[in-house]
Structure 1
Amino acid sequence: MELGLAGKSVLVMASSKGLGKAIAAQFVSEGAKVMLASRNEERLKAAAAELNSLKAGAAEYTVCDMMNPPDIRRAVTSTVEKLGGIDILVNNAGGPPAGGFEDMDDDDWEKSFQLHLLSYIRTIREALPYLKKQGGKIVNIASSSIKEPIPGLILSNTFRLGIVGLSKTLSEELAPYSILVNTVGPGRIATERIKELDRAQADREGVPVEAIKERAKKGIPLGRDGRPEEFAKVVVFLASDGNTYMTGSTFIVDGGKLRSI
């Protein structure tokens, strides 16, 4: 299948590491021009060099604190100036702190709202004038918690669901402009985030972290954690010319773990 991504301009948020970097790498491997964005310039520089070594598409980078509106505005304008426009926007943000309801104060809630929901809204707002010119794709990265709340992740369980409501509403509002909007939620994908959550769970239970890992894998029908590139391929397909009629939908990439229909 021809994905039609060669030469397309893509902005991927929170992309210096983890799932964001894997998504950016997959776009570059398909010949796209990708703007990496995150707070850490050292990691961004290294990620851009690694992706450019693929010798397929190209990678640029811009430093962006997603809780700072002017930074988001600069990330979008930098993408337009350096890549010639924006055809695809991938919203992404690192996971919020683990903890239950009584562990969180107002500051925790406010920071998570700003980073895990409002940053998506702000980035879409800034990118929309460019996307409306020729149509395009928006893919919002969430979590499998949008289908089944995860114990000990009250912030994720709350704000990731907001992403689904945002995506579904925008899919209707933006359809006249040929802009397709979808949400993708990862399950256990082998990233630093999963390692952190496993360590936190092990500490709470007073057991070795390996015990947590093995228990988690037993709950996945495929019997293993997902690989970042496996998740990235789903995102890239939804953003490609291979997807012309799916919008307003939510996709879970979790090896069959969720039992919900």
Structure 2
Amino acid sequence: MGRLQKILIPSLGLVLAFWFYSARDTFKPEMLRGKRVIVTGASTGIGEQMAYHLARMGSHILVTARTEAKLQNVVRRCLELGAASARFVSGTMEDTAFAQRVVREAQTSLGGLDMLILNHVGASYFGFFDGDVEHVRKLLEINFLSYVAMTTSALPMLKESEGSIVVVSSMAGKVGFPFTVPYSATKFALDGFFSSLRQEFAIQSINVSITLCILGFIDTESAVRAVSHVIPDTPAPKEECALEIIRAGALRHRQLHYPARAVGTMLLIHSIAPELFESIVRGSYRLENVRRT
């Protein structure tokens, strides 16, 4: 009976989640027209594609990343695609003061904020943990503490607009995969912080939604370069991923799984049989190509 419950309860949860999200699947691009949106990590990859989707929807966009030249090109393209307005702030999220400055820029130039999309990520390695505590600290500052700083700074504006926070995370923030120890630690931290914050919002009747996006292998240049020699899977398209993130945020979903079937199945198997799941994962890697300390 106990084993049956372990199988049936997660399965029932998956069915209910599918029904719940399908019933609310009424996204229209007009929902983002005129909305004031910050997108971090927007010079390449998923962030860049989110900026372009928002531009086509007629949003006011503020993008940020480290490289000014790339951001200039993104802003130029956003304006060509029909953005209500587009501007950028360049800098590094290693400094929480910069994270707060981005939010102040939104208040000054946009007059408020409707959606905060936190997507930036620090560079890490894919290989056995090398014991570098300083690297873990630096990654926590970029991948976690800057998210906290931006959220804290943006909350007054988001409360006023009854807006949305969208947090781009990963399967590595739900399941302990090998070879991603520092990265995984930062993504688990995001889940803990924002899931707890969502509960506090509910208790205080604060009408600001939090959407946690759990992503699998996406065909961004950085992801493909880091893991394609180890992981045999075909990556999902970043353009579709970016649109799904925006849609989930606009519909105020609690969580997005993308690619939905792959991520949902892996999480379900992990909840039912974690040891089996971990064994399958270990057996799926090309271990001869993994970086060793």
Larger radius of gyration: 2
Aligned to 1:61, the other structure's residue is in SS state: strand
What is the aligned-residue RMSD (CA, Å)? 1.9
Superposed CA deviations along residues 183-209 of structure 1, whole A, max 9, x for unmatched, are 10221111112222136xx3xxxxxxx
Correspondence 1:205-244 to 2 at 5 A:
212=230, 215-217=232-234, 225-240=235-250, 243-244=251-252
**1:178: which partner in 2?**
207
The number of residues matched between the two structures is: 237
Correspondence 1:149-160 to 2 at 5 A:
149-160=176-187
Range moving further from structure 2, 60-69 or 134-143: 60-69
Superposed CA deviations along residues 218-246 of structure 1, whole A, max 9, x for unmatched, are xxxxxxx2111211112111222xx25x3
1:14 Cα deviation (Å)? 1.1
Q: Output the CA distance in 1 between the equivalents of 2:131 and 2:84.
A: 43
Structure 2: give runs of 5+ residues left out of the alignment. 1-26, 269-293
Q: 1:232 to 1:102 in 2, by over 3 A?
A: closer
1:56 Cα deviation (Å)? 4.1
Q: Output the CA distance in 2 between the equivalents of 1:56 and 1:120.
A: 25
Q: Does 1:81 align with 2:108?
A: yes
Contact 1:62-1:75 at 8 Å conserved across structures: yes
Aligned to 2:261, the other structure's residue is in SS state: coil
1:254 Cα deviation (Å)? 2.6
Q: Does 1:64 align with 2:81?
A: no
Aligned to 2:167, the other structure's residue is in SS state: strand
1:83 Cα deviation (Å)? 1.4
Q: Which among 267, 276, 286 is matched to residue 260 of structure 1?
A: 267
The percent identity for this pair of structures is 24
Aligned to 2:164, the other structure's residue is in SS state: strand
Q: Output the CA distance in 2 between the equivalents of 1:171 and 1:255.
A: 22
Q: Output the CA distance in 2 between the equivalents of 1:126 and 1:172.
A: 19
The TM-score, its normalising length taken from structure 1, stands at: 0.84
**1:2: which partner in 2?**
28
Q: Output the CA distance in 1 between the equivalents of 2:32 and 2:267.
A: 33
Q: Output the CA distance in 2 between the equivalents of 1:179 and 1:186.
A: 22
1:59 Cα deviation (Å)? 1.6
Q: Which has the higher contact order (CA 8 A, sep 6+)?
A: 1
Q: Which among 29, 47, 53 is matched to residue 26 of structure 1?
A: 53
1:55 Cα deviation (Å)? 2.0
Q: Output the CA distance in 1 between the equivalents of 2:196 and 2:141.
A: 20
The TM-score, its normalising length taken from structure 2, stands at: 0.75
Contact 2:129-2:179 at 8 Å conserved across structures: no
Contact 1:98-1:154 at 8 Å conserved across structures: no
Structure 1: give runs of 5+ residues left out of the alignment. 203-211, 218-224
**2:219: which partner in 1?**
190
Contact 1:171-1:180 at 8 Å conserved across structures: yes
1:97 Cα deviation (Å)? 1.1
